[in-house]
Structure 1
Amino acid sequence: MYHEIAEDLIRAIEAGTFHDKLPTEQQLMKQYAVSRNTIRRAIDVVYQRGLLRRVQGSGYFINQTQLENKATLNLSFGVGKKLLAGGILTSKVVTFDRVKAGEIDLASRLRIDADLDLYRIFRLRYLNAQLYCYEQAYYMRDVIPFLSTDSINSSILDFVRDTYDIEISSSENFISQVSLEPDQAELLHAPVGTLKMMLEQVSYSKNNVPFNFSRTIYDYPGLNFYFHSAHLASN
């Protein structure tokens, strides 16, 4: 229940329903007819997404800086969630086939069997019709036995959630600068060796089993990477 409330609050924040602060816990309890504990868990989800600042004794304030930057990749949302404010992502599939984990050196990286069958999807993604990134993604077929053509042209993770009831519980993110190889340079219409930012991600389901690995090379002007972190107070 708290996840649905959290998503509803996120939509309201992005729509500008709350201009400066979130309503009080009491107001939200009344609005959603749930307990204080449920509201606190929902607020914590929104906070972890980087959309709120907590001020002791004053409540939760909207993080306007994160909302206003239209070219920000919010890693706090997790893979497959809202990527950029105010944008529509479309895809052009370059490769859609199957490979073994050992063929592409992912067996040791993900601690999986070298004979494990993977879906391989390479695609160019466009934000509001402008080239945004080149994504190379792999999905474990023992967890996700089927991907539809429609899903690889839109949101694969939405399909995985709706079809298999699998959502990402955690992910590892590695950001690095890479030099474009010939095949990458051709697809991105850039000279070989051009430096680009790359995000590698490993996605885990609720039982901590990896089911997806991706490398995404970004090619969007003025793109920023945002990640929210919360620090525990020390004694």
Structure 2
Amino acid sequence: MYHQIAEELLQSIQAGEYQSKLPTEQELMKRFNVSRNTIRRAIDVVYQHGLLRRIQGSGYYVNNVQLQSTMTINLSIGAGKSLAKRGPLKSKIVTFDRVLAREIPLAQKMKINDDTELWRIIRLRYFNGMLYCLEEAYYLRDVVPFISTDVLDDSLFDFVKETYDIDPDSSDDFLSMTTLGPDKADLMNLKPGTSLLTLAQINYMRNNVIFNFSQTVYCYPGLDFYFHSAHLSSN
């Protein structure tokens, strides 16, 4: 229940409904007709996503980081979600097939069994008619047995959540600079040797089982990345 409330609060913040501060716990309890404990757990999820600041004795204030850039990716929420009202991305499918883990260098680094079968989706993604990224995504077929071709242009995470009730519980994110080789440079219509920011991501379900990993090379101008870190007091 608290996950659903947290999602509603996230959507409300991103839609601008709460621009400076969340309602009080009492007001939220009345709105959602749940206990204080449920509201606190929901707020904690939103806080972990980096969209709130706690001020002792005053409440929860909304971080205005989403207003600082027209293209900000919040890695605390997930690389597929922008803090800006970006609108949908358009996709050009390069590859959609099934492969074995032994064929994929990233899978080998993750020490997945060589015979594990994976869905492979490689696509170019566009925003406002400009190339946004080259995305190479893999889903374990024993967890996600079917992916419809009808959803390849849309959010694969949304499809997996709606179809299999799988939602990323945690992820490992690795940012690095990638120097494009001839193949990727040709796909992206860029010069070989171009250096671009790349995100490698491993996504886990709630039982700490990997269901997806990906590598995304970003090239959209003016793109920012945001990550929220809560520091524990040593006192």
TM range (shorter): over 0.9
Verify the 8 A CA contact 1:79 1:168 in the aligned structure 2.
no
Pairing 1:135–2:135 present: yes
TM-score (normalised: structure 1): 0.95
Q: 1:109 to 1:46 in 2, by over 3 A?
A: same
- 1:171 corresponds in structure 2 to 171
User: How many corresponding residue pairs?
Assistant: 234
- 2:30 corresponds in structure 1 to 30
Verify the 8 A CA contact 1:121 1:137 in the aligned structure 2.
yes
**1:231: how far off?**
1.4
% same residue: 60
The residue type paired with residue 50 of structure 1 is G
SS at structure 1 position matched to 2:76: helix
**1:21: how far off?**
0.8
Q: CA RMSD in A?
A: 1.4
Verify the 8 A CA contact 1:51 1:67 in the aligned structure 2.
no
TM-score (normalised: structure 2): 0.95
**1:14: how far off?**
1.8
Question: 1:68 and 1:26 mapped to 2: Cα distance?
Answer: 31
Residue by residue over 1:145-164, the C-alpha shift from the partner in whole angstroms, topping out at 9 and shown as x without a partner, is 11100122211111111111
- 2:156 corresponds in structure 1 to 156
Question: 2:76 and 2:97 mapped to 1: Cα distance?
Answer: 30
Structure 1, unaligned stretches of length 5 or more? Answer: none
**1:65: how far off?**
2.4
Question: 1:69 and 1:79 mapped to 2: Cα distance?
Answer: 16
- 2:212 corresponds in structure 1 to 212
Structure 2, unaligned stretches of length 5 or more? Answer: none
The residue type paired with residue 147 of structure 2 is L
The residue type paired with residue 195 of structure 1 is S
- 1:83 corresponds in structure 2 to 82
Question: 1:67 and 1:49 mapped to 2: Cα distance?
Answer: 16
- 1:101 corresponds in structure 2 to 101
Q: 1:187 to 1:170 in 2, by over 3 A?
A: same
